[in-house]
Amino acid sequence: MTQQPVKFYQTGTFTVGNRLLPGDERAVQANMRRTNSLNSGHRACQGCGEALGARYAIDAAMQATGNRVIAINATGCLEVFSTPYPETSWQIPWMHSLFGNAAAVAAGVAAALRIKGGKGAKVIAQGGDGGTTDIGFGCLSGMFERNDDVLYICYDNEAYMNTGVQRSSATPPAARTATTMSVGRHPGNVFGTGKNVPLIAMAHHIPYVATASVANLRDLEAKVTRAMGVSGARYIHIHVPCPLGWGSQPADTIKIARLAVESGLFPLFEAVDGEVTARYQLRRRVPVEDYLRLQRRFAHLFGATPDTQTIAAIQAMADRNVRTFGLEAA
């Protein structure tokens, strides 16, 4: 959606690299000298979507800024698996303070950089959905409202994975978590009204908001690159499957992320100054069932007597996304 489709059909626009393209038109992740900002040896689970998303995003930011990125990390899986003493996987200046204050700490770093010059460094705050949509929400909103020069990236794996898969305000309806078990008359998470932080970010009229997915690398990189070229508060919400929490195969992480996008459950869009300016149009739309079936957290919807009512309700959510964001070509 954010870049010209490249007419190289063997590799298409969907693979990471493309030996047929000039170097500067290839994905950052295709580069032999990419920064690997999040280095090997981290302790993420097999097939971790967040580890992947973080490297995708930070490497792209590094490339966009000539390797001048400082990252502030909220408490959470990403923080814990990347920096257990005595080893860190980060190759960039990085700091973790608390669970709920990454946006504020980043605002402080940005303020210091403005005063001290900071060698042109740019600040990224990052956290999971818990650290962003729940406990860090106040600081995040404050950062947006002040228009601090920070890019905040939320890696959304839809629950508190670090503490053992508890529900967050980003957990989808019907999903099983440790605090919304698949028992009783309404198994899994409640059908709430939802908390769409990208839309809330847009309501602050910050200069740039985008959603992205680990399943669409080029789109993700283009968005991070664009965000790094903008001053002020920016927000990117990246969908990152969690094999542990979702009960999915580690090898299926990208596939599941792709199905989330192609079903319409996770719409990809961009917004400038509070207005949606671009959206990814579904390439091969699939029913939500294709997405749900691959995850044990939704297993109670299927089985001998599938819960067609609940599945239909989830499909309705996807349909609404398709309508409101215009995800299907007219």
Partner 1 sequence: MKKPFAITLDPGSSLANHTGSWRNNRPVYVDRLPPCNNACPAGENIQGWLYHAESGDYRKAWEELVTNNPLPACMGRVCYHPCETACNRATLDSAVGIHAVERFLGDEALRQGWALPAPAADSGKRVLVVGAGPSGLSAAYQLRRMGHAVTIAEAGPMTGGMMRFGIPKYRLPRDILDGEIKRIADLGVEIKLNSRVDSILEAMTAGRYDAAFLAVGAHIAKRAYIPAGGAARILDAVSVLRGMEDTDQPMLGRRVVVYGGGNTALDVARTAKRLGASEAIIVYRRTREKMPAHDFEVQEALEEGIMIKWLSTIKRMEDAALTVEKMQLDDQGFPQPTGEFETLEADSLVLALGQDVDLSLLDKVPGLEIADGVVKVDRNMMTGHAGIFAGGDMVPSERTVTVAIGHGKKAARNIDAWLRGGKYAAPEKHELATVERLNTWYYTDAPQTVQPALDIARRQSSFDEVVGGLDERNAQFEARRCLSCGNCFECDNCYGVCPDNAVIKLGPGRRFEFNYDYCKGCGMCAAECPCGAIAMVPETI
Partner 2 sequence: MLKQIEGSRAIAEAVALCRPEVICAYPITPQTHIVEALGEMVKKEEIEHCEFINVESEFAALSVAIGSSAAGARSYTATASQGILFMAEAVYNAAGLGLPIVMTIGNRAIGAPINIWNDHSDSMSMRDAGWIQLFAETNQEAADLHIQAFRLAEELSCPVMVCVDGFILTHAYDRVDIPTQQQVDAYLPRFEPVQILDVDEPVSIGAMVGPDAFFEVRYLQHHKQLMALDLIPRLADEFRQKFGRDAGGLIRSYRCDDAETIVVALGSLVGTIKDAVDGMREAGHRIGVVSICSFRPFPLAAVRAALVRAKRVVVVEKCFAVGIGGIVSDGVRKALAGSQVPTYTAIAGLGGRPVTQKSLVGLFESAQGDALEQLNFLDLKRDVVEREIARGRKQRRAGPSAEAILRDLRALRSGIPLGAA
The closest alpha carbon to 238, from 148, 301, 113, 151, belongs to 151
The angle at the Cα of 204, spanning 134 to 100, to the nearest 5 degrees, equals: 25
Please tell me what DSSP assigns to residue 298: G
Taking CB under 8 A as the rule, does residue 89 contact partner 1? yes
Cα–Cα distance for residue pair 23/31, rounded to 1 Å:
8
Taking CB under 8 A as the rule, does residue 14 contact partner 1? yes
Backbone torsions φ then ψ of 56, nearest 5 degrees? -55, -50
209 binds, among partner 1, partner 2, none (CB under 5 to 8 A by kind): none
Cα–Cα distance for residue pair 123/136, rounded to 1 Å:
17
- Do β-strands 122-128 and 69-73 pair in parallel, antiparallel, or remain unpaired? parallel
Binding mask 92-131 for partner 1 (x = CB under 8 A): x---------------------------------------
Stretch of residues binding partner 1 (CB under 8 A), selected from 48-56, 70-78, 113-121, 196-204: 48-56
The closest alpha carbon to 266, from 190, 170, 189, belongs to 170
The closest alpha carbon to 141, from 99, 70, 187, 203, belongs to 203
List 97, 163, 166, 179, residue binding partner 2 (CB under 8 A): 97
Taking CB under 8 A as the rule, does residue 32 contact partner 1? yes
Binding mask 103-142 for partner 2 (x = CB under 8 A): -xxxxxxxxxxxxx-xx-x----------------xx-xx
Cα–Cα distance for residue pair 77/291, rounded to 1 Å:
24
Backbone torsions φ then ψ of 94, nearest 5 degrees? -145, 140
Binding mask 43-82 for partner 2 (x = CB under 8 A): ------------------------xxxx-xx-----xx-x
Taking CB under 8 A as the rule, does residue 191 contact partner 1? no
> Of the two residues 99 and 291, which places its CB atom closer to partner 2 in the complex?
99
Taking CB under 8 A as the rule, does residue 78 contact partner 1? no
Give the footprint of partner 2 on this chain (CB under 8 A): 67-70, 72-73, 79-80, 82-86, 88, 90-98, 100-101, 104-116, 118-119, 121, 138-139, 141-142, 145-146
